[in-house]
């Protein structure tokens, strides 16, 4: 029997698109092998499908289009969403933008890794007469952080002049001190930043991203700022003559 | 600097994203090219495709938490893409007639000739199809969606998907055959000359 008159084109399309159940499919396969005209009809539609697939396969969403997507209309209208969607590319872009001075960055990294941490009690002495200080926090020990906050508050009260600036830069485990979900100290830090205009607390975007992708997102208070990376922020400050301290 | 601050402050939002939103972020990063290709297959215009993809991503991020089955993200995303495409066409009604889109990005005849002529003629033929047929054909052939998924994406019954697909393929075959005939005629004329 010539099968080409028993199957509609819609039915053949369903066969090619893998929409038939196994019984119907088996029947089609059998008929395709025994009826040349029917096989020809199937083949024409199959080739058409392949041509459509091929026609757009070379189309690429190139980097230039991605850049314009992230940085122009989309971002200006919906920056919060854009930042979320394009987090990796945005962070990478900021990093490359800011890290113009490799030397400063290298020095900063060296300072951050090799400087000996000071105790909370010695913060005031370590600051001395310096008017611009960057305090690096890479660890969080809840049991001793009360003392750290107390000493920072005392320092800021002593140095209430407009010339004095203290910037706390946190990354890695240090960010946990700022996590509103798990740290009792997050609210205290927030109070300090609200109380003292010359205090800024900066979180490292790189670490935040890493923690978020590991499933441990940090929730920050609104007053906490974010820098592309802790090293970059420290480089920016130390290259401008700020005193570097690590706690 | 102002822009940078805005960007950095915006990154904070990522940290407060829901698990669905985080999953969507990842999926969008991976699938932006696919959305763009589909929007281009419908519009045959890179600017329009780009705008449609942007709007799709924005809408997707806003409403991702309403999805119950996160595994069905693909169909859901393409449904948004289709809606955004129609929205844009409505907005630009004076500029675009979606059923009369020509290949605006088509390159010069010489470059087309140098490229794969057959594939260009298939694209031109697809551009001649009514948009409803074009959508069904491309969703099934390019993205390999099932008929049920396409029915869900376009919000039409599955029978409609099947009949649109069939008509699209019949029309495509006819256009390509005519195009081939014209091409052969031109070739003959060229030889005589």
Does position B40 have pLDDT exceeding 90, yes or no?
yes
User: Is B54 contained in some domain?
Assistant: yes
Closest CA to B53 of B32, B67, B74: B32
Name the token pair of A161: 């002049």
pLDDT, residue B132, reads 94
Split into its structural domains, chain B has a count of: 1
Does position A218 have pLDDT exceeding 60, yes or no?
yes
According to DSSP, the residues that pair with A243 across neighbouring strands are A133
Q: Which of B1, B2, B10 to mutate to test the interface with A (most CBs of A within 10 A)?
A: B10
HSE-CB of B87 using CA atoms within 13 angstroms? 13
User: Is B4 contained in some domain?
Assistant: no
User: Is B104 contained in some domain?
Assistant: yes
pLDDT, residue B32, reads 83
Whether residue B57 and residue A217 make contact (CB cut-off 8 A), yes or no, is no
Does position A63 have pLDDT exceeding 50, yes or no?
no
Residue A213 vs residue A218, higher pLDDT: A218
Q: How confident is the model at residue B83 (pLDDT cuts 50, 70, 90)?
A: very high
Name all domains of chain A by residue range, CATH numbers in brackets.
3-55 (no CATH), 101-246 (3.40.1260.10)
- A175 interfaces chain B, CB cutoff of 8 Å: no
HSE-CB of A39 using CA atoms within 13 angstroms? 8
- Identify whether the C-beta of residue B152 lies closer than 8 Å to the C-beta of residue B79: yes
User: Is B11 contained in some domain?
Assistant: no
The arithmetic mean of pLDDT across residues B134-141, rounded, is: 96
The DSSP line for A139-157 is: ---HHHHHHHHHHHHHHHH
Q: pLDDT digits over A82-101, tens only?
A: 444 444 444 434 443 444 45
Whether residue A91 and residue B11 make contact (CB cut-off 8 A), yes or no, is yes
Q: With beta carbons under 8 A apart, name residues in chain A contacting B9.
A: 225-226
Residue B181 vs residue A233, higher pLDDT: A233
CA B33 – CA B39 distance, rounded (Å) = 10
- Cα separation values, A231 from A95, A134, A165, A205, A236, Å: 10, 12, 19, 11, 9
- B8 interfaces chain A, CB cutoff of 8 Å: yes
10 Å Cβ neighbour count for B40? 22
Q: With beta carbons under 8 A apart, name residues in chain A contacting B17.
A: 84, 217
CATH code at position B170:
1.20.140.160
Q: How confident is the model at residue B129 (pLDDT cuts 50, 70, 90)?
A: very high
Q: pLDDT digits over B100-124, tens only?
A: 444 444 444 444 454 467 788 899 8
pLDDT, residue A69, reads 39
- Domain, as residue range, for B108: 17-192
Q: With beta carbons under 8 A apart, name residues in chain A contacting B122.
A: 51-52, 54-55
Name the token pair of A44: 């024409």
10 Å Cβ neighbour count for B87? 13
The b-or-e profile of A74-92 (16+ CB within 10 A means b, else e) is bbeebbbbbbbbbbebbbe
Q: How confident is the model at residue B10 (pLDDT cuts 50, 70, 90)?
A: low
CA B169 – CA A31 distance, rounded (Å) = 22
Q: Out of A74-83, A137-146, B103-112, give the one with best mean pLDDT.
A: A137-146
With vertex at residue B88, the alpha carbon angle to CA B83 and CA B89, rounded to the nearest 5 degrees, is 100
Residue A3 vs residue A242, higher pLDDT: A242
Nearest by CB to B169, from A45, A83, A205: name it.
A45
- A67 interfaces chain B, CB cutoff of 8 Å: no
CA A156 – CA A152 distance, rounded (Å) = 6
Nearest by CB to B33, from A48, A60, A68: name it.
A60
> In chain A, whose CA is at the least distance from the CA of B47?
A65
Q: What is the mean pLDDT of chain A?
A: 79
Is this complex scored with an ipTM above 0.85?
Answer: no
Q: pLDDT digits over A152-167, tens only?
A: 999 999 887 767 889 9
């Amino acid at each position: 029997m010539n099968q080409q008159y028993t199957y509609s084109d819609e039915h053949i399309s369903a066969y090619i698109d893998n929409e038939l159940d196994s019984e119907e499919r088996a029947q089609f396969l059998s008929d395709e092998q025994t009826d040349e005209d029917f096989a020809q009809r199937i083949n024409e539609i199959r080739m058409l499908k392949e041509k459509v697939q091929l026609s757009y396969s070379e189309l690429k969403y190139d980097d230039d289009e991605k850049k314009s997507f992230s940085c122009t209309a989309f971002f200006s209208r919906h920056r919060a969403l854009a930042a979320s969607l394009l987090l990796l590319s945005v962070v990478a872009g900021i990093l490359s933008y800011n890290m113009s001075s490799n030397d400063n960055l290298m020095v900063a990294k060296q300072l951050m890794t090799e400087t000996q941490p000071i105790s909370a009690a010695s913060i005031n002495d370590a600051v001395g007469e310096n008017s611009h200080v960057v305090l690096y926090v890479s660890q969080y020990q809840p049991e001793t952080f009360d003392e750290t906050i107390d000493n920072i508050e005392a320092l800021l009260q002593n140095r209430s002049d407009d010339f004095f600036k203290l910037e706390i830069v946190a990354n890695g485990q240090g960010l946990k001190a700022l996590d509103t979900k798990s740290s009792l100290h997050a609210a205290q830090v927030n109070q300090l930043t609200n109380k003292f205009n010359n205090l800024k607390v900066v979180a490292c975007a790189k670490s935040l991203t890493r923690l978020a992708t590991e499933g441990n997102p940090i929730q920050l208070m609104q007053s906490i700022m974010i820098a592309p990376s802790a090293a970059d922020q420290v480089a920016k400050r130390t290259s401008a003559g700020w005193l570097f301290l690590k706690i | 600097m102002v822009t940078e601050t805005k960007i950095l402050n915006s990154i904070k939002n990522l940290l407060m994203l829901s698990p669905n939103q985080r999953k969507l972020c990842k999926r969008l990063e991976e699938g932006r090219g696919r959305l763009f290709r589909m929007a281009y297959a419908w519009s045959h215009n890179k600017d329009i495709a780009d705008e449609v993809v942007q709007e799709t991503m924005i809408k997707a991020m806003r409403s991702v938490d309403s999805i119950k089955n996160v595994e069905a993200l693909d169909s859901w995303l393409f449904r948004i893409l289709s809606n955004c495409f129609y929205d844009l066409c409505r907005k630009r009604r004076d500029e675009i007639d979606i059923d009369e889109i020509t290949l605006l990005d088509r390159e010069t005849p010489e470059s087309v000739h140098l490229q794969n002529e057959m594939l260009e003629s298939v694209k031109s033929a697809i551009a001649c199809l009514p948009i409803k047929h074009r959508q069904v054909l491309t969703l099934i052939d390019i993205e390999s969606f099932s008929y049920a998924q396409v029915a869900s994406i376009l919000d039409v019954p599955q029978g409609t998907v099947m009949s649109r697909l069939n008509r699209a393929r019949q029309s495509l075959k006819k256009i390509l055959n005519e195009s081939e005939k014209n091409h052969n005629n031109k070739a003959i004329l060229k030889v005589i000359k």
